[in-house]
Chains A and B, each alone.
Chain A
């Protein structure tokens, strides 16, 4: 186990090193002039030239790369060429709302997708399976911004149950001092014992989380169904039935546990993708998350910010893959961690 973690950590370093090289090179290849961005649209040629020197853009590429790399390691991820704010600081501000959304939607995906998948496997090719297939395929194929608008229309406009967007009610924010600790209002509220804050934050989270969960719900449902169908055809399931093990135990334990490995894999991949790929959902719900930050950076050709987000997403992929491997080993004792 220790050697496994050590090996994986080493591997992660190699992967992140590769990512840093590629993001750095990509940023140099794009035709946007960083120095011109830095000084703004009305700058003179002399000002741009000074900015080039200041930003070190005249140095040889390897020198620039090493400077970038040592900055990455030291926690200096560069300054935004547009806002002149440190990129890491921006990311720290935008990450908590994104994570909040991501965690809740992943929980939702499991809470809905796993039972639906089990139902599908249990009643293969019968009505419950067809219905769950309908839900799953709708989930993966509906455009998220459209689903978001639909949910807003229903729950905000018609039913007046949930807020239309944002992270807190504006009135609430004015009347209430919001403690700042983790940056996740739900978590901060829980830590401070501030239930009004938790309630308001959760209410605002529901619609975006449901929208974001639609895709992984479909993914998890189909994955649980297909893995379980495979497991249910194995000899040990027939043996368990021959021992008189009740159907619900067979479905909920004997067939589910071996089927969870592949499900964890697809869920983790979809989570890593969703970390920055949720611009549309964040835009519709006025959610200040990483997706909007990344999209804004792209539109402004703010390359230090783009590089920062890219590195962060790479880290997320590495970490989630490591977690998935640990989950696999925990689920299946035949997998040895070496």
Chain B
């Protein structure tokens, strides 16, 4: 197996709170290959965005402690100095955010902000940066790039802003793009356009993409592989088609069961997400799990590799059930 572009190993993120430390992320293993789109799905508050922020070291140092390894092309990013991280952010790893309305600085034109990123990483003259900025705006499908570049964020629509955000992210040709709920704040019709644009540019540039979302529809449309997160942990990893056909982990099954489908009743998952401050012993999903057995509440399940790129952190599920034959 070729070395992945990004490899997350034993990653933990612990927030300091008034009630003492709270661990919000505890991931054994997650990889993103070159030219691969990996979806990270889960409910709000399961730690998805925290994973994204910890890859780039964006958690404020006084509020969170990050442990484990985030290896990008053989180099561990955890514990790098702010200076070294600055060189990686925006150039090797870029990120787009959920709400393009708040992700741009309101008092500078989008052109200025785009050019500043270009000049930060690539140097060059104002003129060169401007030419590159116009190119990028054209690339993400903005009509009248010169006109758009002189606009302030509030003078653009949500879809336009997200396109420009993508242009900013791609400006320095990153190897890895982290997209944190890139379409959640957008209309459904715009969502489809933005996802198609992302997919098209991903192929064109051969980037690895980590797409963070709570929306399984987005995953189905865009991703090659998917990791399902629950209460700070990855509970299942699978190629997208396999996950939708035969989900392994009971939580994944619950998620898919709660999707609306024609002719089928919605089956919500009973119970609520556990409080991260008071996690249940053993499997974190056990209290809500229809398949739970007594050992589930005493033993912490590890990810079990079923082969064919499938794995799940559930001792109750067997390889045959998910249709993997060795």
Q: What is A's interface to B at a CB cutoff of 8 Å?
A: 234-236, 238-247, 249, 253-254, 257-258, 331-334
Contacts and interface: CB of A to CB of B under 8 A. Distances in A.
B296 interface: no
Given A244-B91, A333-B107, 18 more contacts: A235-B103, A236-B102, A236-B105, A240-B105, A242-B89, A242-B90, A242-B97, A243-B89, A243-B90, A244-B120, A245-B90, A245-B120, A249-B116, A254-B108, A258-B105, A332-B107, A333-B106, A334-B154
B104 A258 contact: no
- Which of A240, A249, A332 has the most chain B CB atoms inside 10 A of its CB? A240
Contacts of A253: 108
Q: Lowest 5 CB-CB distances: which A-B pairs, in order?
A: A244-B90, A244-B89, A243-B90, A235-B102, A239-B103
A199 to B, nearest CB: 40
A326 to B, nearest CB: 15
B103 A236 contact: yes
A162 B154 CA distance: 52
A303 to B, nearest CB: 47
B75 interface: no
Interface in B107-133: 107-108, 113, 116-117, 120-121
B88 A244 contact: yes
A257 to B, nearest CB: 5
Interface of B: 56, 58, 82, 86-91, 94-95, 97, 99, 102-108, 113, 116-117, 120-121, 152, 154, 168-169
Nearest to A258: B107
Contacts of B58: 238, 241-242
Nearest to B116: A245
A242 B107 contact: no
B215 to A, nearest CB: 20
A88 B6 CA distance: 76
Contacts of A247: 82, 86
Nearest to A242: B95
8 contacts: A234-B102, A236-B103, A238-B97, A240-B113, A243-B168, A249-B116, A258-B106, A334-B107
A154 B321 CA distance: 88
A247 B97 CA distance: 20
Given A242-B58, A332-B106, A334-B154, A235 B90 contact: no
Contacts of B107: 257-258, 331-334
A240 B152 CA distance: 16
Given A236-B105, A334-B152, A244 B121 contact: yes
B117 A244 contact: yes
Contacts of A334: 106-107, 152, 154
A333 B154 contact: yes
Contacts of B108: 253-254, 257
A245 B82 CA distance: 11
- Of A243, A331, A332, most buried by chain B (CB within 10 Å of CB) is A243
A318 B88 CA distance: 50
Given A235-B99, A244-B89, A254 B120 contact: no
A236 B113 CA distance: 11
A239 B95 CA distance: 8
A244 B108 CA distance: 17
A243 B103 CA distance: 11
Residue in B94, B106, B152, B169 whose Cβ sees the most chain A Cβ within 10 Å = B106
A254 B116 CA distance: 11
A75 to B, nearest CB: 42
A201 B104 CA distance: 47
B56 A242 contact: yes
Nearest to B90: A244
Nearest to A240: B105
Contacts of B99: 235
Contacts of A239: 95, 97, 103-104
Contacts of A243: 89-90, 94-95, 117, 120, 168-169
A191 to B, nearest CB: 37
B152 A244 contact: no
B145 to A, nearest CB: 19
A241 B86 CA distance: 8
Contacts of A234: 102
B97 A235 contact: yes
A257 B105 CA distance: 10
Contacts of B104: 236, 239
A249 B90 CA distance: 15
A244 B121 CA distance: 8
B87 A244 contact: yes
A333 B113 CA distance: 15
B230 to A, nearest CB: 25
Contacts of A331: 107
A245 B117 contact: yes
A113 B315 CA distance: 62
A208 B95 CA distance: 52
A236 B90 CA distance: 14
Nearest to B95: A242
B250 to A, nearest CB: 35
Given A257-B108, A334-B152, A244 B103 contact: no
Nearest to A261: B107
Nearest to A253: B108
Contacts of A254: 105, 108
B86 A244 contact: yes
A175 B187 CA distance: 79
B152 A333 contact: yes
A66 to B, nearest CB: 48
A35 B165 CA distance: 74
